[in-house]
Structure 1
Amino acid sequence: MKTFESQLRVLCGGLLLAVGAVGCVVEFPDDVPYTCTETADCGGDGYVCTSLPNDGPRYCCLPDPAEVCNSVDDDCDGLVDNLDTPCYPGPEGTLDVGRCHAGESMCDRDGSTVCVGAVVPGLEICNGLDDDCDGAVDEDFDLKTDPGHCGACNNDCSFLQDCVNGECVRRQEVDCNNGEDDDGDGLRDCQDREDCDEQPCGEACVCRNGSRTELSCTNGEDDDGDGLVDCADRSDCLTGERCGPNRSEAPEDYPRCQVNGVCA
């Protein structure tokens, strides 16, 4: 690092007088900073005139090829430890794909190099972005069937709805005779009148007015499971209705239910 201070100029002039035509050569220690106004003051050899950080005094500096983390302005740009180089710690092939992009290399307090601001692949979420940087957007979500993202990201169906072809529709009781609350509304089978009224609940059973109803009073079976068979099920087999089959007669000759629930 070199400069031409006034005292050195005087010394060089004195030497010229002493040696006549012989040139004056002055060696400058490399570990001593010298002030300058412009690069020409630094005596060549690659030295440049730069300033200390924060617009400090200008001095002669010999640039190194690259800035490193050592609390020194290696590249003589007036900044200390400004690596100013891109970095990317993500998997190969994901840089600049989707949300992924490079960050900036910076010096840590311990002198190590860290990468700041880079975005690497993450978990894919439903947001219209390529979070995992694989070139596809929201590929893990089926917007036609996903009740949490029905038709669009974060369009959440209620607990009583299913997502069908991208629309939230009311879930229905799928079987009125399985003893299950299929649609999760707290009502099972025939109790779920909205879904099961007039729907079959067995071979000779139909849901009616929220309860199981005997359809046949002539088969000798407890079709609605209430413990009452044919005429004995007085709420379903009305007085005068034909009842219990007499195998030797045609159906039109079957006996009829009596007032007391007896088939006679």
Structure 2
Amino acid sequence: MKSFSSLFCCLLLAVSAAGCWVSELPEYVIFSCDTDDDCDADGVVCIPRTGQRGFCCKPVAEMCNDIDDDCNGQTDEGFNLQTDNAHCGVCGNACNAVTETCVNGTCKSRGELVCDNELDDDTDGAKDCADPDCVGKTCNKAGGGKGTCAGSTCK
């Protein structure tokens, strides 16, 4: 019986050791490091952290995605979420390029964009000089030629 339990223990150890093998880790797994050599891959650098070991990172151009793509310790730098029409308020929230602009992180109507086309560009019910957004903008005079919106008429 003693030899059976020894054989069983050896078999259990062998199976356990074989179960520890990992074929490949996903790309997003962060490896700790002290130098670039610890990262052991082309273009991958070791980024130091205060009070901790560094982490391996492969720098690419920064994108607005809540990830530190360029490995400088900051996420989404260079994107102004208060004014960026493609990332208004949060990454990926795009304002309508024709009718909206990003103001303080919120997509807002641009107002009447063109005041000489006889259209209600901002769909607020008023077109051209009849729209308060057009005051002081170029318009078409009734008799021909260009003028400036004043009040609700082109002068």
TM-score range, shorter chain: 0.3 to 0.5
Q: Which of structures 1 and 2 has the bigger CA Rg?
A: 1
More helix by share: 2
Q: Which has the higher contact order (CA 8 A, sep 6+)?
A: 2
TM-score, normalised with respect to structure 1: 0.30
